[in-house]
Chain A
């Protein structure tokens, strides 16, 4: 497949080389202020060519065959603008584009749905974008909690769940693939993500694709994909500093406060710093974060650091190299279950001294090359090293899990109405722990994929694609018997997108999803807090078919609503289940179904003073063998967030409701209550007269204002009421 891709690429390159060429010079301006917009993205439609604007909003696109083109100009915070019918001649063509500021992202340009840039309105997948501003405003401490503002996303401790795809597994064997700039960051042994490696201040936006994404992304994307797009170094040099401080209130049940907590205020604080700058063709961005908390439960304390750097070197408009590095360190207490419901914030006596230490390093490099106006290549290589196992047993039993991966991806536009993404992912995993845990396991993955998008009519797009994955786990060299295993899977996808009117989009898709069992799910055995977890080397991979239809209506430039219906049919769902002995092991549930419907809306009124974001999802994730709701799933989830901005002051309220779960995993009777969380915050914005580029934001807020006590997993109370205040400075 790769040979064919290269052949086609060379063919198109040769065609381009013998043609006469021209270029487009242009400037992107803010429609209101007429000032140049740095960092705007300019793309020539039906080609792979594009550029970013410099400090003054100026861009330049070269090597264009003579003819007529359309430009698509996009930028976070601005409405995407299409400029049709630009004639490129041998003389320079000059274009001025004015972008209108938009208070909400209605149809932003996304990269995750198809692995290439396209407007969300044209995809057959359901994509939601959370901007940096939304992430920073909603939850300044933990990035994963900010994700819960997206429709259908639920976080239970480290486990992320989209549309009921996952329950609670402490993140092990996640069905939601997490990426940074398109590169997977799941660890190789547990298949989990360490959220702290992602600093909220380092993110430009998070793209959330709901539904099976295996046809492009393979195993782990069965429930969806979350892609954190980190900020691109800005031409003008930008610095961001944020410091916040918070404190936990007492719980509403005085007897829950453990003895050592008496007369002590449990507090937390976080600091973030980022700086980006352009030096000629080299853009640099560095970020550092520190987060310390006493925790609201005993053993809930932590101290975490992260450091990341991003470097982009542009060789020309047609080629660039990106290097990203990240280091994270976490030192924290271990809270698995409470002592009992009378002492719900305390841990059992045997757990008092349980501590864990986690380290992680992630590096990746990407080389992008436009071979012609119709063909591009991207070469990716990444390395990650995580030590997460200490939370499951004594320190020293695990060695860091290593993942070394690479990908070659091509983008081809053979006709104006057809674009093709093709490529192959490779990965080598090396994980090692004591033989009693899971031993030494090496694994290798190879996965070619391709996806074709065909614009049959100006308002009708079809998508067809598929990916073949082969994953081999080698035997533990110390095992008495060979226990190697191989998993193969082909996952196809079909999609359609139809613009009934300019502001009305209909879409539908049928997608196959799958997930191989991870090493920890197959082989790990451990005891924790009096519970025993057993291995299950006979686990089969799980497979799903997801059918989805959606309708999106845009009303004006600042309001939309969306209704989606979905139905997922899963075979051999891998879930941790209690055994006859009360011990827990991952098993295959032969049949599970997740039908559901979701409603999403976002709008701003009264000159952007009033805002409302809301989503509601009703689903019924069922275990078809036991004929009951899947464990740790909720049927109904609602999120409502009104806001009001008056001058330099903004008020925001978030309310989240989720119906009670019905089934947990540990023995005992549980008091099952719905989740009802009310957060509120006030922002004060100040721009000093002496600098247009400087912005101060002071905020004060309260999370879980009602001090509502609820559980999302066995014997563990979610965060109690806390107050937070902080200051952000950007200059």
Chain B
């Protein structure tokens, strides 16, 4: 019926068509994503034993497979929790349940968001475990226990009641590295020694600063909870670095012993001014 050349061409077609059919069969092996991917549930209550600060916009529960998380996009967030913002309410328990894939999670925590502000990773106001010591209790959501209940979290708003201010001037030394992802100012209650635990345990407040490569100085004003801060530093983060891989560009120095960090005490509604810091970009690559 066909000539030799035609038979060869037909043969080529059938080989290619067989590949196509094999591919189609491969396509039939499943239906892609499904509604039950988040098969697990973590549930419990958020326990609030004080008044919710009036500048509270949202409180959410988040879980992470690794704590502290390497970046914010690896977190699974709940929706905003329905807290009562009435100033007369001093005690409330807010139930939550969070759909998660079956897995082991190092930490379940509550994160706070201020009105008209973005989420600040420092604003963890509750942790399933010990918030003060930054020691979370892991939670395993498995096939045999897809729902893990009673993961209750007690809230402590102390950290986010930023009713005091520390202000001063940051003098940038050297050229801005081209791989700058972020520059931020941090205030710690104690000098952090052990990373990452101390970093989380002693952090009072931090703020991301503008990253304009033409800046040679910047006047900052950091809102902090009242207290004594023993380490105020400007940190630098490289593009692609993990969340806690900050490099210290400079810190506030004790005027008497400049090789030591300076200490700053600030009262409720008070301001500690003149807390100037020299931030040297030469330290970015150390």
Instruction: State whether A581 touches B101 (Cβ < 8 A).
Output: no
CB distance from B180 to the nearest CB of A (A): 9
A496 to B105, CA, bound (A): 56
A10 CB–B CB distance under 8 Å? no
Instruction: State whether A626 touches B240 (Cβ < 8 A).
Output: yes
B34 CB–A CB distance under 8 Å? yes
B211 CB–A CB distance under 8 Å? yes
Instruction: State whether B32 touches A708 (Cβ < 8 A).
Output: yes
Instruction: State whether A582 touches B118 (Cβ < 8 A).
Output: yes
A194 to B157, CA, bound (A): 48
Are A582 and B240 also in contact (CB < 8 A) when A252-B31, A341-B37, A612-B20 are? Answer: no
Instruction: State whether A580 touches B34 (Cβ < 8 A).
Output: no
A288 CB–B CB distance under 8 Å? no
CB distance from A179 to the nearest CB of B (A): 33
In this complex, how many residues of chain B approach chain A with their Cβ under 8 Å: the count is: 52
Instruction: State whether B181 touches A587 (Cβ < 8 A).
Output: yes
B218 CB–A CB distance under 8 Å? no
Residue among B10, B120, B212, B239 with the highest chain A CB neighbour number at 10 A: B239
Interface residues of B in 111-126 (CB under 8 A from A): 118-121
Instruction: State whether A605 touches B120 (Cβ < 8 A).
Output: no
**0 or 1 for each of A682-696: is its CB under 8 Å from B? (1 = yes):** 000000000000000
Partner of B118, one of A252, A583, A666: A583
Partner of A676, one of B12, B32, B118, B178: B32
Question: Smallest CB-CB separation from B212: which chain A residue?
Answer: A538
Interface residues of A in 662-696 (CB under 8 A from B): 664-669, 671, 673, 676, 678
A590 neighbours in B (Cβ, 8 Å): 178-179, 239
Interface residues of B in 67-97 (CB under 8 A from A): 71-77
Are A605 and B119 also in contact (CB < 8 A) when A657-B27, A669-B76 are? Answer: no
Are A605 and B13 also in contact (CB < 8 A) when A340-B99, A708-B31, A708-B32 are? Answer: yes
**0 or 1 for each of B27-51: is its CB under 8 Å from A? (1 = yes):** 1101111111110000000000000
Instruction: State whether B179 touches A625 (Cβ < 8 A).
Output: yes
Instruction: State whether B9 touches A344 (Cβ < 8 A).
Output: no
B240 neighbours in A (Cβ, 8 Å): 623, 625-627
Instruction: State whether B35 touches A717 (Cβ < 8 A).
Output: no
A657 neighbours in B (Cβ, 8 Å): 23, 26-27
Instruction: State whether A341 touches B33 (Cβ < 8 A).
Output: yes
A50 to B27, CA, bound (A): 49
A342 CB–B CB distance under 8 Å? yes
A537 neighbours in B (Cβ, 8 Å): 212
A664 to B72, CA, bound (A): 12
Instruction: State whether B73 touches A666 (Cβ < 8 A).
Output: yes
Instruction: State whether B182 touches A342 (Cβ < 8 A).
Output: no
Question: Smallest CB-CB separation from B29: which chain A residue?
Answer: A676
User: How many A-B contacts are there with CB distance less than 8 Å?
Assistant: 148
A450 CB–B CB distance under 8 Å? no
Instruction: State whether A708 touches B27 (Cβ < 8 A).
Output: yes
B100 neighbours in A (Cβ, 8 Å): 669
Instruction: State whether A673 touches B239 (Cβ < 8 A).
Output: no
Instruction: State whether A640 touches B33 (Cβ < 8 A).
Output: no
Instruction: State whether A709 touches B34 (Cβ < 8 A).
Output: yes
Instruction: State whether A582 touches B20 (Cβ < 8 A).
Output: no
B137 CB–A CB distance under 8 Å? no
B282 CB–A CB distance under 8 Å? no
B75 neighbours in A (Cβ, 8 Å): 667-668
B150 CB–A CB distance under 8 Å? no
Interface residues of A in 123-166 (CB under 8 A from B): none
B6 CB–A CB distance under 8 Å? yes
Residue among B20, B37, B71, B73 with the highest chain A CB neighbour number at 10 A: B73
A367 CB–B CB distance under 8 Å? no
A391 CB–B CB distance under 8 Å? no
A708 neighbours in B (Cβ, 8 Å): 27, 30-32
B175 CB–A CB distance under 8 Å? no
A580 to B9, CA, bound (A): 58
**0 or 1 for each of B191-223: is its CB under 8 Å from A? (1 = yes):** 000000000000000001001110000000000
CB distance from A659 to the nearest CB of B (A): 12
A106 to B168, CA, bound (A): 69
Question: Smallest CB-CB separation from A572: which chain B residue?
Answer: B178
A172 CB–B CB distance under 8 Å? no
A90 CB–B CB distance under 8 Å? no
Are A709 and B31 also in contact (CB < 8 A) when A612-B16, A612-B20, A638-B23 are? Answer: yes
Instruction: State whether B31 touches A706 (Cβ < 8 A).
Output: yes
A582 neighbours in B (Cβ, 8 Å): 72-73, 118-119
Instruction: State whether A655 touches B20 (Cβ < 8 A).
Output: yes
Instruction: State whether B101 touches A640 (Cβ < 8 A).
Output: no
A639 to B211, CA, bound (A): 44
A259 to B213, CA, bound (A): 52
Partner of A580, one of B26, B238, B243: B243
A215 to B137, CA, bound (A): 58
Question: Smallest CB-CB separation from B239: which chain A residue?
Answer: A625
A666 to B119, CA, bound (A): 13
B17 neighbours in A (Cβ, 8 Å): 612, 642
A653 neighbours in B (Cβ, 8 Å): 20, 24
B243 neighbours in A (Cβ, 8 Å): 580
A344 to B184, CA, bound (A): 37
A651 to B6, CA, bound (A): 21
Instruction: State whether B76 touches A255 (Cβ < 8 A).
Output: no
CB distance from A726 to the nearest CB of B (A): 24
Question: Smallest CB-CB separation from B103: which chain A residue?
Answer: A669
Instruction: State whether A341 touches B16 (Cβ < 8 A).
Output: no
A606 CB–B CB distance under 8 Å? yes
Instruction: State whether B73 touches A668 (Cβ < 8 A).
Output: yes
A394 CB–B CB distance under 8 Å? no
Interface residues of A in 711-731 (CB under 8 A from B): 711, 717
A667 to B79, CA, bound (A): 12
Instruction: State whether A538 touches B73 (Cβ < 8 A).
Output: no
A665 to B71, CA, bound (A): 11
A537 to B212, CA, bound (A): 9
**0 or 1 for each of B157-200: is its CB under 8 Å from A? (1 = yes):** 00000000000000000000011011010000000000000000
CB distance from B258 to the nearest CB of A (A): 30
A581 to B145, CA, bound (A): 33
Instruction: State whether A667 touches B72 (Cβ < 8 A).
Output: yes
**0 or 1 for each of B47-59: is its CB under 8 Å from A? (1 = yes):** 0000000000000
Partner of B9, one of A255, A559, A614, A706: A559
A256 CB–B CB distance under 8 Å? yes
CB distance from A701 to the nearest CB of B (A): 16
CB distance from A315 to the nearest CB of B (A): 49
A717 neighbours in B (Cβ, 8 Å): 33
A532 CB–B CB distance under 8 Å? yes
A340 neighbours in B (Cβ, 8 Å): 38, 99
A252 to B73, CA, bound (A): 29
A550 to B269, CA, bound (A): 70
B208 neighbours in A (Cβ, 8 Å): 579-581
Instruction: State whether B239 touches A532 (Cβ < 8 A).
Output: no
B132 CB–A CB distance under 8 Å? no
Instruction: State whether B72 touches A580 (Cβ < 8 A).
Output: yes
Residue among B19, B32, B35, B77 with the highest chain A CB neighbour number at 10 A: B32
Instruction: State whether B118 touches A709 (Cβ < 8 A).
Output: no
B120 neighbours in A (Cβ, 8 Å): 581
CB distance from A529 to the nearest CB of B (A): 12
Are A709 and B32 also in contact (CB < 8 A) when A627-B240, A638-B23 are? Answer: yes
A538 to B176, CA, bound (A): 12
Chosen A-B contacts, 22 in total, with CB atoms closer than 8 Å, are A252-B31, A255-B35, A341-B99, A344-B35, A537-B212, A578-B73, A579-B72, A580-B208, A588-B178, A605-B10, A606-B2, A606-B9, A642-B20, A655-B20, A665-B73, A667-B74, A671-B37, A673-B32, A706-B31, A707-B31, A710-B33, A711-B33
Apart from the given pairs A653-B20, A669-B100, 19 other A-B contacts in the complex at a CB distance below 8 Å: A342-B99, A344-B33, A579-B118, A580-B72, A581-B119, A581-B121, A583-B119, A587-B239, A601-B16, A606-B10, A612-B13, A668-B75, A669-B101, A673-B33, A676-B32, A707-B31, A708-B32, A709-B33, A710-B32
Considering the complex of A and B, which 8 residue pairs feature the smallest CB-CB distances, nearest first?
Answer: A625-B240, A581-B118, A626-B240, A709-B32, A676-B27, A253-B35, A671-B37, A640-B20
